[in-house]
Amino acid sequence: MPFKLTPQPFKAAIKEVEVGSGDKAIKLGGEKTFPFYTFDAEMPNAPKIGVEISDLGFENEVAGIKDFYGDVTNIVEMAKKAAAMEGADFVVLRLEGADPNGANKSVEECAELAKAVADAIDVPMAVMGCKNDEKDSEVFVKVSEVLSGKNVMILSAKEANYKTIGASAGLAYGQKVGAESAVDINLAKQLNVLMTQLGVKPENMVMNVGTAAAGYGYEYVASTLDRTKAAALAQNDNMLQMPIVTPISTETFNVKEAVASEEDMPEWGSQETRAIDMEVVTAAACLASGSNAVILRHPASVATVSKLIKELM
């Protein structure tokens, strides 16, 4: 007997969230099916790729990243090049220089840079902090203010600072807010509930449910992504129906396989090849498990993952 395909779309859907404005604005989510199950239902919005740049530049990065930006040292000019990278959908400015234990840049300096970058590029923008909850709260409030009207993503609000960030970015200045939790579906849902109780609308939220580089406890990440998507669609859990954005680069470029030099580990081969492989494999796994957007750093990774998405769509 011939095989007859019977599509099985869900009645529930992932909420559609728009970031940016104008012709190059992007839409995340909107699907009624599991990742790339286009035989069950259409995915109206393909997963998107963000390119991460740091306010501290790329002095310590692998050769391919340095070569892409060449002699450019100005962060605004770097952002322009990142926006033009093959496969890039949006630019992510990571304000790691704000770290009180590092460069300790002032809130005003960070906001001024974010404004300059946003004004210089024609693609949507996201802003990441320095992972110091207290300083990030201060920075995100000011950044949200100076970027009012830009419709950017603020990544991210955590349980420790969601009230400050949600009230400023999501309510006062109309930005999109990322709710960040630590690889646990219950924590993800709890934070989303708290954010909505604060008044942030679900259509103005995305989730970062946490990640890890492939091989570093990644099975917990895959399980959390799978369970989150299943609860959102199969169980119609509206507190888990926000699109998922996963920062890949900050994880993969911190593990030994990506950062160990060829001098230290000659048996591992090319450091750059290792770094690209780690970024691509982790991004592909997250996309297959439910991410609606991934954040990458290496131009080869961005081009490869972009091609993968197009082939699967």
In the chain, which residues have pLDDT < 50? none
pLDDT score recorded for residue 160 = 94
pLDDT score recorded for residue 83 = 97
- What's the whole-model pTM score? 0.96
Dmax over CA atoms of the chain, in Å, equals 70
pLDDT score recorded for residue 131 = 93
Token reading at 149: 């009207």
Token reading at 69: 């930006």
H or E, element range at 90: strand 90-94
Cβ within 8 Å of residue 113, ≥6 positions away = 55, 75, 76, 93, 95
C-beta separation of 264 from 257 below 8 A: no
**Residue 302 burial class via C-beta count within 10 angstroms: exposed 0-12, middle 13-18, buried 19 and up:** buried
- Residue 295 and residue 230: Cα distance in Å, rounded? 23
- Judged by DSSP in three states, 124 sits in coil
CA distances from 78 to 75, 85, 128 (A): 5, 11, 16
pLDDT score recorded for residue 58 = 85
CA distances from 120 to 80, 159, 198 (A): 7, 33, 33
